[in-house]
Copies of this chain bind each other. A is one copy, B any other.
Amino acid sequence: MTHIQKRNPQQTRDRLVRAALDLFTTRGYHASTTPEIAARAGVAEGTIYRHFESKQHLLNEIYRAAVRLLLKAPQASVSGSCRERLAAVAEQWRDVAARDPALIKLVFFTDLEGLLDAKSREIKTELTQALTRIIASGKAAGEVRAGAADVWAEVWLALTVLTLGRIAAREWPATAPAVVQVRDAALEALRVREAPPDVRTL
């Protein structure tokens, strides 16, 4: 009667993560049911609970993994001018959006109000903080227009996310003219310049 599939447990977990990610980002969290998730992963419903404490824990684990992936970009980009560093982050994120749109949708386009736990909320703020640090250093170097660094971070993020959303939705290819238009608009908004010649070296 019972047909037990033997599989590498990591494999099962991965299938569940993928199924949940896809459903959460298309239907939303509440509209994605555990039977659906299990069916899409090709496992029994109970199997979900051998790998995750609850549906909400499943969401949070996926969410944190996604944010952690996005955090790599600003964390890796430590050298170069502010402009170059922001460009590097945007480029890597566009790659993610093209390769795995669901990740982008989960982090930036899914309403997770009241579903994220403390750890998830914390890592989420790290994202804006990482951007704020890049811009703050750019300000110190005179590359950025006057204004609060965290606000500039939000401005840049809002416009970058606009692009990511279209790429993730396959509405814009990653190389569309609109992508360049928005990217330049973001830099223009902050008036991020190349580092000016260092006066002291003269």
Given A155-B159, A155-B162, A189-B185, verify A178-B148 contact (CB < 8 Å). Answer: yes
Contact of A154 among B147, B148, B162 (CB under 8 A): B162
Is A70 among interface residues, defined by CB-CB distance under 8 A?
A: no
The prevalent SS among residues of A at the interface is: helix
Contact of A28 among B30, B155, B159 (CB under 8 A): B30
Is A114 among interface residues, defined by CB-CB distance under 8 A?
A: yes
A148 touches B162 (CB 8 A): no
Contact of A190 among B151, B155, B185 (CB under 8 A): B185
Q: A27-B114, A152-B181 are in contact. List 6 more A-B contacts (CB 8 A).
A: A26-B113, A148-B181, A155-B159, A158-B158, A159-B189, A188-B188
What are 24 A-B pairs with beta-carbon distances under 8 A? A27-B114, A28-B30, A28-B114, A29-B30, A30-B30, A30-B31, A31-B114, A111-B111, A147-B181, A147-B185, A148-B177, A148-B181, A151-B182, A154-B182, A155-B159, A155-B162, A155-B185, A158-B158, A158-B159, A158-B162, A159-B159, A159-B189, A185-B189, A189-B189
The 3 closest A-B pairs by CB, nearest first: A111-B111, A30-B30, A185-B189
